[in-house]
Amino acid sequence: MKNLRGLLSVFLIIMSFGIPDFAQAQDQQQGFINLDCGLQANESPYTEPMTKLTFRSDADFIKSGKSGKIQNVPGMEYIKPYTVLRYFPDGVRNCYTLSVLQGTNYLIVAMFTYGNYDNLNTQPKFDLYLGPNIWTTVDLQRNINGTREEIIHVPRSTSLQVCLVKTGITTPLISALELRPLRNDTYIPQFGSLKNLFRVYLTDSKDVIRYPVDVHDRLWTPFFMPGWKLLRTSLSINTSDNDYNLPEDVVATAATPANVSSPLTISWNLETPNDLVYAYLHVAEIQSLRDNDTREFNISVGQEVSYGPVSSDELLVYTLFNTSPVKCKGGTCHLQLIRTSKSTLPPLLNAIEAFTTVELPQSETNANDVIAIKSIETSYQLSKISWQGDPCVPQQFLWDGLTCEYTNMSTPPRIHSLDLSSSELTGIIVPAIQNLTELQRLDVSNNNLTGGVPEFLAEMKSLLVINLSGNDLSGSVPQALLDKVKKGLKLNIEGNPNLCSSGSCNKKKDSIMLPVVASLASLAAIIAMIALLFVCLKRHPSRGKGLSSSQQQSIVTKKRRYTYAEVLAMTNNFVRVLGKGGFGMVYHGYINGTEEVAVKLLSPSSAQGYKEFKTEVELLLRVYHTNLVSLVGYCDEKDHLALIYQYMANGDLKQHLSGSSIISWVDRLNIAVDAALGLEYLHIGCKPLIVHRDVKSSNILLDDQLQAKLADFGLSRSFPVGDESHVSTRVAGTFGYLDHEYYQTNRLSEKSDVYAFGVVLLEIITNKPVIDQTRDMPHIAEWAKFMLTRGDISNIVDPKLQGVYDSGSAWKALELAMTCVKSSSLERPNMSHVVHELKECVISENKRTRDIDTVRSIDTNLSFSTDMNPKAR
C-alpha cells in the first residue's frame, strides 16, 4: 500500500472570513462568514475576483491579538490573502465570537500559515476549541507550509466561539476563518461533530472545485491512482434530487478498477486507532449501459461492516453513508467496492468524503448568565484579557473574578460569584446584574460607582454577600435590603460618604427629609384622588361618556391642566386629524402658537375607549422615559377628557416604512434600539413591571430626528407585587402581533411584549406586511422562517435598501427577531438581551467602511500535506 502523503494537494484559491455583509457579493446570499485574519481595517472589505466571495478584516470579531505579515512560504509570493495573519502573544485563550443561526448545520474552516512572520523560524503548536470543547491540535511543526482544519458542527446557541489556546511556549496564530451553512438534513452523526479527513472527486484533472460551482463552498480535491480507469461524461447529471447539492463537475467523472474483476479500494490512516469514522460515497452512473450491462457492487469496510448490493440509475446521483460510526482496525481504514456475481461491470465511484467524530461533551455556561455577564462587560467597558470564550468552562480558563457551579458536563454551569472590585467601574450599579439569578456573592468595591443602591439587589434571592464599599454611592439603602441584612445577608457599604442607612439618614438630614415627607404626603393625596375618581367610574359603567358634572373629580397631575376652550384653540377646532383609535381621535395642535402637540380626545360614545384612556392616565402619571411618549398636559372638564402629548413629526413607524422616503439601515436599527429601550424600562425600570400588551409598528412614533418612542398604553397591565412571573387576564392586543402562547393560555408575561417586538423587528428588516394572505406563509414570522431555510438574506431584507447595509448586522437582527417570536416564551430573550444585541448591530453597521475599488489577484496555489489523505492500491 503506497503512502500518498502529499499527493492530494489542497489548492486554496481564496481564504476568507466575511459575514455576508455586502449585497453585491454572492456569498452573502448563502449566509457565508469569511474573515481574513490580521487584515487591516483600511483594506477591508474586498471581493476575490474568481469566486466573488467578499471577505473582511477579523478585527470586529476578536478583542485581542496582533497583525503579522508572512514572509517565505514556497509558492505564496503573490497570494495576497495569505500575506497577513493574527497572532496572540498575550493570554492563554483568545476567542473569536460569531453570530450564527442556532441549530443550523455549519461547515467551519480554519486556516493556519506561519510563514516566519516573526523572523524566529519557530513553527507553533497549539489547541483549537469550539466554545468550551477542544476541536483539534494545530501542529505547524509537522505541517510547515500550513494546514486547514474543517469541521461540520451544529451550534447550540446563537453565538459561536472559536478559540486558540496556548499549550506550550509557541504563539498561536490564524490566517482565516470561514463558516458555510449546510442543509440540516445532511451530514448527521449519531453524536458529536464531524471533523474532515478528506474530500476528493475521482479524476485525472488538476482542478480544485469550490464556490461558486459548489454552493456550500466545499473544497473538492482531484484524486486518481494508477490501476484505475477514468470515466467521463459531458451529459447533464441530475443532482437536484440529491440532498447534498453536489456540483455536476464533481460527479461528471468517476473511477473504476482497470481490472473488471478487482475491487475498487481506497485506504487511509487515522490520527489514533480509536477514531470513529463516517464515509459519504457519491455515486452516479455516467456510462451509457447496453441492454445486457449490469453494474452492481457491495461496499465493505473491513470484515465487520458491509452494505449492498448497490446500483445506480444512469445520470442520477446517490449518496451512500454509514449511519453509525465505524472503527477501523489498527487505525487504518480500507474501503472496498466489490462487484457482485451478477454484475457485468466493475464498481464505480465518483467522489468520497471521510470524517471522524469529535465529541463535544461540555455544556456551555447557562445562556442567560452569559447574556447577563456580557451585558455587564459592555456597560462597564471592561477589557479583561481573560474575558473571552465561555465564562465558566473549561474550568482552567474561568474568567477572572467569577466562580461557577458545576454539576456535570451535560448541565450548563451557573455563575455564583462576581468580583469586580478595583476595576475602575463608573456609572451606576447596572440592572443586568439582577439577571445573574444564581449569584451568591457580588463585590463591586473600590470603584467609582455613583447613584443609589438599587432595589433589585433585595430581590435577588440567592445573594448572600454584597460588597459596595469604597464607591461614591448616594441616598438611602433600600429598606428591603436592610430587612434582608436582618435575615443574614452580609452588606458592606463603608466608604460611601453620601450613602446612609435609613436610621442615620433620619438623624443627620432632618432638614432634607421634611420636604420629602411633605411631598410624599401630597403624592399620597394625589393617588387617593385618582383612585376615588376611578372607583366612581367603576360604579357607573353605563356612562361611557366619562363623568357627569355632578360626579366630576379632577385628574391631578404635575402636568399643566388645560380647559376645553384651550384645547379647541390649540387644535383650531380639531381641524387636522393625526389618527384614530378605540378611544377616539388624535388631533394636531399648537401650544403658545409654536410648540406642536398631539391631542388625544376621548370619544363620548367609547366605553372601551374610556377604559383604555384611564389605563393610560394611570401609567403616564407614574412613568417617564426618553423612549416613551411624554405627556405635555391634560384636559379634565366635565364630559371633555383629553391627553396632550409631544408631537412626533414623522408619524408612526408603519406609515414611515410604507411611505415614499427610505429609512436607512442604521436608522432602522436605531429605531429598533429606541423602542427596545422603552420596553426594557417598562419591564425592568418600573416596579411593579408593566407589560405594554399592544406593541406594534403603528404604536412606535418617530420625531423629526427619527428617535422612536412607544405610544398607546391603553391595554398595558402592571404585574402585582410579588414573585409572579405572569398574570392571568383576558387576551388583548392586535392580530399578527399577538403572542400565541398568551392567546392559548391567557397567561400574560413580559415575554408577550418580546414576541410582538420580534414581529416589529421583522417589519423593520423586511418592510413587508405582518399578514399577507397572498403569501404561501401569510404571517411574517412563518415567511421569514421559510426564507431562512434557503440561507438567503438578500430576499428577506427590504429591497428598498438596495443592498446598502452591513449584512452581518442584518443577519444578527434577523436571528434576534426569530428568537423573539419563538412559540415558547421560555425560549425568548428578555428585553435587556434584545437591547444589547441591537446595539451590537448598530456598532457593526457604523463600522462598515466604503467598498475597496482595488481587487486582489491570486496567481498561484497553496499546498498542504496531511496524514489523513486517502491511499489506493
Rounded distance between C-alpha atoms, residue 198 and residue 699, angstroms: 55
Q: How many CB atoms lie within 10 A of CB 621?
A: 18
Strand positions, DSSP E, 383-531 = 402-405, 414-419, 426-427, 441-443, 448-449, 465-467, 474-476, 490-492, 498-500
Asked about 694 being catalytic, the answer comes back as: yes
Question: What are the Cα distances from residue 695, in Å, to 279, 310, 343, 760?
Answer: 51, 58, 68, 8
Segments in 663-799 forming alpha helices (H): 665-680, 740-745, 750-766, 780-788
| Widest pairwise Cα distance in the chain | 109
Rounded distance between C-alpha atoms, residue 468 and residue 485, angstroms: 14
Backbone angle region of 350, left / alpha / beta, with phi > 0 → left and psi within -120 to 50 → alpha: alpha
Q: Tell me which of 694, 753, 798, 806 is the catalytic residue.
A: 694
For residue 144 the three cell numbers come to 510547515
H helices, E strands: number in the chain: 15, 47
Residue 570 near residue 599, CB atoms below 8 Å: yes
Rounded distance between C-alpha atoms, residue 492 and residue 322, angstroms: 62
Buried/exposed 328-343: b ≥16 CB within 10 Å, e otherwise: beeeebbbbbbbeeeb
Rounded distance between C-alpha atoms, residue 83 and residue 60, angstroms: 20
Q: Which residues are known binding-site members?
A: 600
Residue 294 near residue 345, CB atoms below 8 Å: yes
Rounded distance between C-alpha atoms, residue 469 and residue 495, angstroms: 5
Residue 664 near residue 803, CB atoms below 8 Å: no
DSSP assignment string, 317-375: EEEEE-SS-EEPGGGEEEEEEEE-TT-SB---B-EEEEEEEE---SPPS-HHHHHHHHH
Nearest to 584 by CA among 618, 630, 633, 544: 544
Q: Residues near 859 by Cβ (< 8 Å), separated by ≥ 6?
A: 78, 79
Q: How many CB atoms lie within 10 A of CB 787?
A: 16
Q: Which residues are known binding-site members for ATP?
A: 600
**Cα 347 from chain centroid?**
47
Residue 297 near residue 339, CB atoms below 8 Å: yes
For residue 22 the three cell numbers come to 455586502
Rounded distance between C-alpha atoms, residue 709 and residue 721, angstroms: 27
Rounded distance between C-alpha atoms, residue 81 and residue 146, angstroms: 14
Do you know the residue count of the chain?
Answer: 873
Rounded distance between C-alpha atoms, residue 829 and residue 822, angstroms: 9
Rounded distance between C-alpha atoms, residue 624 and residue 621, angstroms: 8
Measured in degrees and rounded to the nearest 5, phi and psi for residue 570 equal: -70, -25
Question: What are the Cα distances from residue 510, in Å, to 502, 514, 862?
Answer: 12, 6, 80
How does DSSP classify residue 25? S
How does DSSP classify residue 438? T
Q: Residues near 42 by Cβ (< 8 Å), separated by ≥ 6?
A: 849
Rounded distance between C-alpha atoms, residue 681 and residue 686, angstroms: 6
DSSP assignment string, 203-226: -S----B-TTTSTT---BEEE--T
Catalytic residues: 694
